[in-house]
Structure 1
């Protein structure tokens, strides 16, 4: 292994160690949060200076992959990430949504739309409706209260919401 490769590998390992340390401090960090934090640190800047454009593209790809793998392994035993538990929770919320007094929900959501001027961002809480990504146009149906995730298609965090229909 060349000296340059060894140096790049050492800097990359420092980035991964930083991800692990940050996650240990705050378990609520997402892949996007960890990636953003790491790409603004000193080790990343040193790596960027030492590597070429092609190498940096690989580093960013591997960094995303390794962060996702790290979070998956950390959350493997957490039941809240279990597909069975998620399915049961979604089914329960769907049933509750069907029996809810929709007029009260619609008034609440209309008030919320007026307050937000029709714009929603990832990380906010919304109760139900269809969110449309402002970047790629992908739509997400929200059936129960929860935190708005980033767009699964383009990783954008800005949305508009279609009005509720009776």
Structure 2
């Protein structure tokens, strides 16, 4: 995959996250937003605008859904603040992305409880996929890879393995 295509997919991830945020704000006055529906709308918008192919939009939407579900699982299990899930000095995190994730997590807490139950089945991240801010740990050697912004997951820098898990750092 070329750098141009990689950057295009990361940019699409961020635009889709923006659209989910916008949809949640719009729906706030009427009812608790449906996260899956909003992600699907963001996918469709990316295809409609010619930003991504349907297959690419599906892939990027699944990455976004996985990361939001993981944040919900962590918040539901630990009762901790979203910032702890990121495990970074807040100065390092782009305020815009933190606010978007916080907005999504706050407004969808009921839905996230249900999604958290399903997140266990989705608990594996792979090289080449896109992820948001946070820390992934290599399943083979335990090496941690820190993401300060959305990006593609590289092979493990220590052992070159391609499978990771999200590190929530509750109790460390």
In the superposition, the TM-score normalised over structure 1's length comes to 0.36
Q: Which structure would you say has the larger Rg?
A: 1
In the superposition, the TM-score normalised over structure 2's length comes to 0.34
Higher relative contact order (CA 8 A, sep 6+): 2
